[in-house]
A and B are shown apart, each in its own frame.
Chain A
């Protein structure tokens, strides 16, 4: 059900979209600079708490008349001189530091651009779910109390420093909320002032107060402390009792609840800089002075409860509806599907997805077994959510942003070359470890990798031999990765002791034991290992099988030589190979290899996750947008891909390879044994008129439901627009699967005549 959004809200969305990416929360930068010398002599954790207090005392507390929820920061476009000044300060933090120095200071980071705005002494990893349940049930006092209780049990100086830092941080937040109470009073909003005074320590008494508290904590944690990409986890669960209480008392109308949620969503959207964090080549991204990128916050709705019943309730409906109405980029709504979910709810979700709202579906029936295999216990197993794009996280019980994008195409080329790297034969690994330090810190496999010695091709007489060599190489890579990170973790135990960060103030275990989460404070610790390029691997294995072992039209050696020559002089063969059956078309002969490769990947990961380590692994099938970067260091592959071309993205087939319709694509993907895979997206591209109207929503609902029943893990949708069609005109090979439909007629867009393409683009523009 779509409900209209007021003109005022539309105007607000519009204003955000037009906002320059140069807008900066400059208070933060000035105050950081002022505070830098002030607390230098304090231990790290104490300095951290004092820095936060300094910032929260100094920043202004603006209130706009249209604010329902109170809390924003002052933003402006800095002058050229100010911009340069900030830039210089950022540079002084990081420029010229070796990887080893970086590691000692920050342990790991997302990318250079991400690191840039974060001071070494006031650093946060973010990408996690705080203990929102304690926040809502007990208020900030719940954390104050835990800190005091913990202080009474510890004597170790370092731990007491951690607790002092946490106490200072929480006191600073409470004081900041009191400052806002005064500001509200001054703005003539007495009722809000009363609420804020209460919320400075107390538990929220109403639905409105709960959102108010969530928002102010978000502002401090994310916008001031740079602990971004938050997962709000199951808001429809922990807000439900207050919501029901207010509704039954008659103090909260539907309109008010909706308006409050709208304000909450809008505010989440508005604190993000208007940038694209995954496009590191755009100047708005490299030049922003902000710590909050466009990376969204996550809300988890629906899903199973620990007693096996469905968590879907009236608030789940309302929160999907608000996402649908607003269609913002942030927050990012993850709906958890399970067998037996209410049809009406699934339909509302499908409707929102059809209309391009930021809503995606995850399948509990696959995620829960997969997380169980990663040693997650009940009941928190049922509260799983995601940080970042598709990385699992258990709320309050672990930290985030530890990732490895494991390039699944590399073991294949290593297997065909006895462990040598085809793009730089005869070389050796850069580090004592196969994974160099920088790759371990950022998680990206860049440059050359060399593997273990596997048999020469002349000795491989069957597909089984090829697969065995692949397994040997991927097992070796994961073993080397484990070796590398174990060294890192040992170093962390030493240099990171006592280095409190804001997220440690809001987790289970960290306060009780007075240890940061990554040094062991939380119950769980994971690296997300993101298998990347599985479609390319499946197609390449199938092509090898076909050419060498079925047709026997060439030897494995001959084929590999062609790959080493990057298909030079073999264009006809390359074209033939490109037209062999491909993953994504519901053809078992190929799809068996996607299931096989996924299993080989999970097995390799599981081998290195035997329980004796502090950190376990979450295996996911996810590339994010790094499939282009990942392809750059990989040689030609037997699926017809040339060297350095992109590899396949996420769970998807290679670009343009799925040409048999959406159901065929979904059937192929569902053959992956997702009960072993703990995350990763499938981007589904649909042409608008295929799912238009009420009937279209029914069809989409049935499509999604069937896919998830068949064992799919995740679905997110893109409805094709004219920009996609223009891109397809420029690069038809990448869009061979783009199916469009107009007037009782479907066609592959790239196969239409130029005139008809123009006509279709015109019609698509009109339709949207």
Chain B
């Protein structure tokens, strides 16, 4: 059993309780306009090329066996269509202008790596979080991984957009201690415009998870002028507070750190703004007795 992982962050402290390791899975079935990990969206790994760092030294041209890098008039050119993602170019780039971080892990290899911090998890009440991308696109792997971790007493958290058929999510309930579910917008139309998917399935899944007694934290990105209005806050609060077990909510104000990475995979992104009044949004939610924290 294998999975594509684009990043592993040890000593992660905000994706669930305690000291954690967060594993970021490659591939997503939403396409959020403000995504902060845009390089994780395609299911096939894409070479990142940070053009502003390139000094056209030509090291990558010599290292590449598929002709994806060439020199023309003393300037480096990258030909995406020829790239086979064999990562040799990134290994010789002196300026970190090329990045190929996606790695294929076996279950054993990944479990072994995650258990290296077992003592930190135990002393802090922490554990492992899987995130992405959308980790549930590799659900059988996640399920097997969590079962293994739980056997060692490791707390497991799943960061998902929940845009998956219910049976997939349901299959994770026994091995998942905490669901971190993203809610991009309460409004189906807005949700569709900015993520290219409807939110009805997501809202149904959240309700079903709550019904099943799962522990849930809802995470809401706040983008100025798009999903941060008082009306959206009220509608979100009505929905969340009516769930069988009202979940905790974490608000994530927009930041622009994804833009540079979007450029590196040649997928230009629009820049948004952080909401000026994230507190107002939180205030409305708290009015419905929801527990809210804002990063």
**Chain A residues at the B interface, C-beta cutoff of 8 Å:** 571-572, 575-576, 579, 586, 660-664, 667, 690-691, 695-696, 698-699, 702-703, 705-706, 709-710, 732, 736, 741-747, 750-756, 759-760
B253 near A743 with CB under 8 A, answer yes
Instruction: Supply 5 further A-B pairs (C-beta < 8 A) apart from A663-B10, A746-B9.
Output: A663-B11, A703-B19, A709-B119, A743-B252, A755-B259
| Interface status of B256 (Cβ within 8 A of chain A) | yes
A451–B78 alpha-carbon span in the complex (Å): 50
A576 near B91 with CB under 8 A, answer yes
A745 near B256 with CB under 8 A, answer no
Contact residues in B for A586 (Cβ distance below 8 Å): 116
Query: Which of B19, B93, B124, B125 contacts A575 (CB under 8 A)?
Result: B93
A705–B62 alpha-carbon span in the complex (Å): 48
A-B contact pairs, 22 of them (CB 8 A): A572-B92, A660-B10, A661-B9, A662-B11, A663-B19, A664-B10, A664-B116, A667-B116, A667-B117, A690-B11, A698-B124, A702-B125, A703-B124, A710-B119, A732-B96, A736-B96, A741-B13, A743-B252, A743-B295, A744-B252, A750-B96, A755-B260
B117 near A575 with CB under 8 A, answer no
Contact residues in A for B255 (Cβ distance below 8 Å): 742-743, 745, 756, 759
B91 near A579 with CB under 8 A, answer yes
A699 near B59 with CB under 8 A, answer no
A756 near B19 with CB under 8 A, answer no
**Number of residue pairs spanning A and B whose beta carbons lie under 8 angstroms apart:** 117
A575 near B91 with CB under 8 A, answer yes
**Chain B min CB distance to A696 (Å):** 7
**Chain B residues at the A interface, C-beta cutoff of 8 Å:** 8-15, 18-19, 21, 36, 52, 57, 59, 62-63, 91-94, 96, 99, 116-117, 119-120, 123-126, 219, 250, 252-253, 255-257, 259-261, 263, 295
From DSSP, what is the main secondary structure of chain B's interface residues? mixed
Contact residues in B for A755 (Cβ distance below 8 Å): 256, 259-260
B123 near A702 with CB under 8 A, answer yes
B13 near A745 with CB under 8 A, answer no
A706 near B120 with CB under 8 A, answer yes
Known: A571-B94, A586-B116, A709-B119. A746 touches B12 (CB 8 A): yes
B120 near A702 with CB under 8 A, answer yes
B10 near A661 with CB under 8 A, answer yes
A736–B124 alpha-carbon span in the complex (Å): 27
Query: Which of B8, B13, B21, B94 contacts A690 (CB under 8 A)?
Result: B13
A661–B57 alpha-carbon span in the complex (Å): 30
A702 near B116 with CB under 8 A, answer no
Query: Which of B11, B116, B124, B257 contacts A745 (CB under 8 A)?
Result: B257
Known: A661-B10, A699-B13, A744-B14. A752 touches B120 (CB 8 A): no
A752 near B18 with CB under 8 A, answer no
Contact residues in B for A667 (Cβ distance below 8 Å): 116-117
Contact residues in A for B59 (Cβ distance below 8 Å): 571-572, 575
Query: Which of A690, A736, A752 contacts B260 (CB under 8 A)?
Result: A752
A662 near B10 with CB under 8 A, answer yes
Nearest chain-A residue to B262 (Cβ)? A753
**Chain A min CB distance to B280 (Å):** 18
Nearest chain-A residue to B222 (Cβ)? A743
Nearest chain-A residue to B123 (Cβ)? A702
A760–B256 alpha-carbon span in the complex (Å): 10
A756 near B18 with CB under 8 A, answer no
A755–B261 alpha-carbon span in the complex (Å): 12
Nearest chain-A residue to B60 (Cβ)? A572
**Chain A min CB distance to B114 (Å):** 11
Contact residues in B for A754 (Cβ distance below 8 Å): 52
**Chain A min CB distance to B121 (Å):** 9
Contact residues in B for A747 (Cβ distance below 8 Å): 257
Contact residues in B for A699 (Cβ distance below 8 Å): 13, 18-19, 124, 126
Known: A571-B94, A759-B255. A741 touches B120 (CB 8 A): no
Nearest chain-B residue to A707 (Cβ)? B120
Contact residues in B for A745 (Cβ distance below 8 Å): 36, 255, 257
Contact residues in A for B91 (Cβ distance below 8 Å): 575-576, 579
Known: A690-B13, A744-B219. A575 touches B92 (CB 8 A): yes
A579–B95 alpha-carbon span in the complex (Å): 12
Known: A661-B10, A696-B13. A744 touches B96 (CB 8 A): no
Query: Which of A661, A703, A706, A756 contacts B256 (CB under 8 A)?
Result: A756
B18 near A702 with CB under 8 A, answer yes
A695–B17 alpha-carbon span in the complex (Å): 9
A760–B260 alpha-carbon span in the complex (Å): 14
B96 near A751 with CB under 8 A, answer yes
A579–B250 alpha-carbon span in the complex (Å): 37
Known: A571-B59, A706-B119, A710-B119. A744 touches B10 (CB 8 A): no
Known: A661-B9, A663-B120, A703-B120. A744 touches B18 (CB 8 A): no
Contact residues in B for A571 (Cβ distance below 8 Å): 57, 59, 94
Nearest chain-B residue to A580 (Cβ)? B91
The 5 A-B residue pairs with the shortest CB-CB distance in the complex, in nearest-first order? A753-B260, A661-B10, A702-B124, A662-B11, A702-B123
Contact residues in A for B62 (Cβ distance below 8 Å): 572
A696–B12 alpha-carbon span in the complex (Å): 11
A705 near B257 with CB under 8 A, answer no
**Chain B min CB distance to A642 (Å):** 12
Known: A572-B92, A663-B120. A756 touches B13 (CB 8 A): no
Nearest chain-A residue to B59 (Cβ)? A572
Contact residues in B for A575 (Cβ distance below 8 Å): 59, 91-94
**Chain A min CB distance to B235 (Å):** 23
Nearest chain-B residue to A686 (Cβ)? B11
B11 near A756 with CB under 8 A, answer no
Contact residues in A for B126 (Cβ distance below 8 Å): 699, 702
Contact residues in A for B253 (Cβ distance below 8 Å): 743
**Chain B min CB distance to A732 (Å):** 8
Query: Which of A663, A698, A732, A752 contacts B257 (CB under 8 A)?
Result: A752
**Chain A min CB distance to B19 (Å):** 6
**Chain B min CB distance to A227 (Å):** 42
Known: A572-B92, A750-B96, A756-B260. A744 touches B15 (CB 8 A): yes
Nearest chain-A residue to B255 (Cβ)? A743
**Chain B min CB distance to A338 (Å):** 16
**Chain A min CB distance to B102 (Å):** 15
